[in-house]
């Protein structure tokens, strides 16, 4: 359902625009921000819901919606909740911009204090994609690229902050009939002020923690002790050689 930006002041749309307590002054200001960003319509779709409206996501900081720009481009919007624990989305936008500098995350297109406009990613969450029974080769390729992207974040000192429970933070995007790309999303908890642990967190999540059961249906899990040794060595150096040792221990590359 496509709704013009001007109509978002009315119920039931107003609840989404200024969740969870819409106020007329806030609503008018957010419509101003959307227009400033070149957004003409919001599209209510997705697997989450607010009232009777479908949305792409709802978290502690914001609501994620699909939208259209004045030129017709489909984008994703993150709109700050009025009860969020932060006054604006500026820090998250900066973290996403930094991730983009090494080719990670949805592309940051524009932002204001309360709205982030990003590339729209059409894909399934990693656990959902694994549940469809993809070929082992595809799984190996996706996990290897995912680990490489996490390493890139480690290299620039940016910690995502949510990858130890990454069920909703990795999307698998189709890239043609037989190719897929893992995409890291949601940088609201990201920081450059703590030691990065992106690769170690995602590796433990995939092969030891919450995702290991699904992965084991498709490929052999690594030897736990071998993996832990490789991760310990990686924590000490975080270099390319240490990354390759982790990939080797996980069965994502051949013996090096």
- List the pLDDT tens digit at each of the 256 positions of the chain: 999 999 999 999 999 999 999 999 999 999 999 999 999 999 999 999 999 999 999 999 999 999 999 999 999 999 999 999 999 999 999 999 999 999 999 999 999 999 999 999 999 999 999 999 999 999 999 999 999 999 999 999 999 999 998 999 999 999 987 899 999 999 999 999 999 999 999 999 999 998 999 999 999 999 999 999 999 999 999 999 999 999 999 999 876 5
pLDDT at 123: 93
Measured CA to CA, the distance from residue 136 to residue 47 in angstroms comes to 27
Provide the pairing of β-strand 48-50 with 39-43. unpaired
Strand 39-43 to 2-4 pairing: antiparallel
User: What token pair was written down for 149?
Assistant: 């992207």
Which position has the token pair 């009025």? 82
**Which pLDDT score is estimated for 210?**
87
What CA–CA distance (Å, rounded) separates 106 from 155? 19
User: Are 153 and 103 within 8 A, CB to CB?
Assistant: no
pTM: 0.94
Please give the pLDDT value at position 255.
Answer: 63
**Which pair of structure tokens corresponds to residue 178?**
């037989």
- H-only helix segments in 11-55: 13-17, 24-36
Nearest to 143 by CA among 228, 233, 56, 222: 222
């Amino acid at each position: 359902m496509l709704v013009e930006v001007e109509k978002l002041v009315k119920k039931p749309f107003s609840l989404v625009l200024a969740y969870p307590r819409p106020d007329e002054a806030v609503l008018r200001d957010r419509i101003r921000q959307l227009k400033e960003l070149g957004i003409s319509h919001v599209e209510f779709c997705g697997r989450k819901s607010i009232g009777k409206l479908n949305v792409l996501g709802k978290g502690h900081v914001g609501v994620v919606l699909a939208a259209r720009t004045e030129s017709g481009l489909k984008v994703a919007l993150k709109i700050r909740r009025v009860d969020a624990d932060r006054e604006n989305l500026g820090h998250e936008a900066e973290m996403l911009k930094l991730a983009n500098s090494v080719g990670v995350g949805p592309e940051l297109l524009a932002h204001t204090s309360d709205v982030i406009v990003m590339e729209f990613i059409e894909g399934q969450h990693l656990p959902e994609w694994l549940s469809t029974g993809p070929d082992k080769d595809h799984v190996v390729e996706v996990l290897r690229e995912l680990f490489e992207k996490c390493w890139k974040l480690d290299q620039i000192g940016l910690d995502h902050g949510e990858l130890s429970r990454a069920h909703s933070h990795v999307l698998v995007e189709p890239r043609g009939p037989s190719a897929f790309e893992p995409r890291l999303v949601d940088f609201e908890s990201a920081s450059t002020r703590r030691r990065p642990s992106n690769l170690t967190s995602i590796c433990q999540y995939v092969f030891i923690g919450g995702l290991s059961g699904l992965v084991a249906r498709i490929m052999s899990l690594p030897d736990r002790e071998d993996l832990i040794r490789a991760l310990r060595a990686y924590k000490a150096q975080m270099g390319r050689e240490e990354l390759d040792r982790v990939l080797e221990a996980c069965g994502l590359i051949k013996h090096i």
